[in-house]
A and B are shown apart, each in its own frame.
Chain A
Amino acid sequence: MYALTVENLSVAYDKKIVLENANVTVPTGRLVAIIGPNGAGKSTFLKAILNQLPNKVGKIEILGKLFDPKSLVVGYVPQRNAVDWDFPTNALDIVLMGRYGHTGLFKRPSKQDKQLAMEALESVGMQEFAERSIGQLSGGQQQRVFLARALAQNATIYFLDEPFAGVDAATEKTIIDILKSLKAQGKSIFVVHHDLQTVKEYFDYTILLNKTILASGVTEDVFTPQQLQKTYGGKLFMMQETLGANNIC
């Protein structure tokens, strides 16, 4: 079974084609990087997978089935600036939201739900901040809370949108360690990633995306100068140093 199957996916906004004929199959248990230049359609790709876009064309299967949100199989960690952190609540409460799918409509979260939420907070190193108002959290702390929420949900496959953007080194380490441990548990993780320097170090599988999927596969095979040239086009000259430092040839 594949973690993700995408067939002929196309998405258009306001008569502009954002994604055209994207195809990819990814086996389970991988830690996958989705990379591409700004405006390539990476976030759109994620949203399409998560069935948030009604006007898409093509077929998407997650773990062999069409996406069913109620199955709670997919854990989504959005970009930090996707929400307003001025909301009146604390960190534990946000993580508890990951349990709402399990708790059900009209019911209060159970003791067990709260326990699992607390454990998720602990795993990201935020247990002291449980009662802290989310408006007072730093960028890295916010990101960790979002990850904890997805962990509390107990998903099988995770999609993260630029989780390392603007976070401190300690947070980055915490997050990638968790992702790796999830992978060790057999879960599949997809990360829209912006930092080419860390791709080889973190991810064993890579998808190159720019308006369509240009290449996908094991990182070593796919993360090459030629493929990067195709994906990033004229922006490559800025990447030279990066490639040199990584010594891929």
Chain B
Amino acid sequence: MFYKVLTTGMVMKRILGVFMLMMLLVGCSAEKSATDKKEGVVVATTGHIADVVKEIAGDHLSVSALMGPGVDPHLYKATQSDLSTLENAEVIFYNGLNLEAQMLDVFEQMAQEKTVLAVGDQLDKGKLLDDEEEEGELYDPHIWFNIDLWKQVVATVAETLVKEYPEHKDEFNANETAFLKKLDELQTYATERINEIPTKQRILVTAHDAFNYFGESQGFEVRGLQGLSTEAEYGVKDVQEMVDFLVDNKIKAIFVESSVSDKAMQAVIEGAKQKGHDVTIGGELFSDAMGAEGTEEGTYIGMYQHNIDTIVDALK
């Protein structure tokens, strides 16, 4: 009979098997990280920063981003393989301003051995937006949506890279200039397209408060359901207030984000519908992450353009 064959030993073996499966999973992801040190390895946290490094350094450096498309930096916890990746890097860039909230200890540790730079922390605090709830203490970290601020970030990154790899100084500076020019063109494009939206309709509603810099620099009123971080709690009242906001301002479309669940937005839409106001989902925006690597939206400029186009097409 079955029960006679099964003994304590076999139960223990089964539990052991489960643990081994877990180890296997952890181990498999660890295999991905490179074990041999290469010349010129730079690691950035977000895709935006990695894109800047790539634009400046071209093929001279090996650049990678810890947080890929669809990954939420507010919640991201580094795994063992991430730590290996960071260990092998010569230079590390991260956003700072508490964006990578779960990784601060890691950066402190790495800073003792190599160059670690928080690009957001280098900016003039006067130009930054406050966290509404903690004025003067915490800043809104989503700086990449303000093109002017981002140009300063480009400059800082270039300066650091030139210091680290002086042999490539000329090329890096040339790339920097070219990229800054493209950013200016991006701003022109943005301004042109946004003019297609009547002033009254320039209200951007998203899942979390990622677009304050966008709103301030491009002339939008911005409203998110969750606060500055996707860690922020929100409840029924937040949903209700959002619904009222949509109805009162007769907003046509709201936007979901690639790295945040859209369930809350669905609930908001249903709530507005129940009050007799139809809102649609205008499209998916890239908020804390960018698109897939190799695609247009996987670059900073492509991502920004996609956002502009999506917003304008839905609201005009």
Contacts and interface: CB of A to CB of B under 8 A. Distances in A.
Interface of A: 54-55
Interface string B1-35: 10110000000000000000000000000000000
B261 to A, nearest CB: 43
Interface residues of B, number: 3
A228 to B, nearest CB: 36
A54 B1 CA distance: 10
Nearest to B4: A55
A55 B1 CA distance: 9
Nearest to B1: A55
A210 to B, nearest CB: 26
Contacts of B3: 55
Q: Is the interface of B mostly helix, strand, loop or mixed?
A: helix
Nearest to A15: B4
A51 to B, nearest CB: 16
Contacts of B1: 54-55
A54 B3 CA distance: 11
Contacts of A54: 1
Contacts of A55: 1, 3-4
A143 to B, nearest CB: 34
Contacts of B4: 55
Interface in B147-186: none
A2 to B, nearest CB: 30
A118 B61 CA distance: 91
A54 B2 CA distance: 12
4 contacts: A54-B1, A55-B1, A55-B3, A55-B4
B8 to A, nearest CB: 11
Nearest to A55: B1
The 4 closest A-B pairs by CB, nearest first: A55-B1, A55-B3, A55-B4, A54-B1
Nearest to B3: A55
A55 B2 CA distance: 11
A57 to B, nearest CB: 11
A54 B4 CA distance: 12
A158 B133 CA distance: 76
A35 B220 CA distance: 92
B104 to A, nearest CB: 53
B11 to A, nearest CB: 15
A61 to B, nearest CB: 23
B237 to A, nearest CB: 40
A11 to B, nearest CB: 13
A17 to B, nearest CB: 14
Nearest to A12: B4
A15 to B, nearest CB: 9
A99 B3 CA distance: 34
A202 to B, nearest CB: 39
A19 to B, nearest CB: 17
Interface in B172-211: none
B22 to A, nearest CB: 32
A14 to B, nearest CB: 10
A150 B118 CA distance: 80
A9 B1 CA distance: 18
B3 to A, nearest CB: 8
B4 to A, nearest CB: 8
A18 to B, nearest CB: 15
A55 B5 CA distance: 13
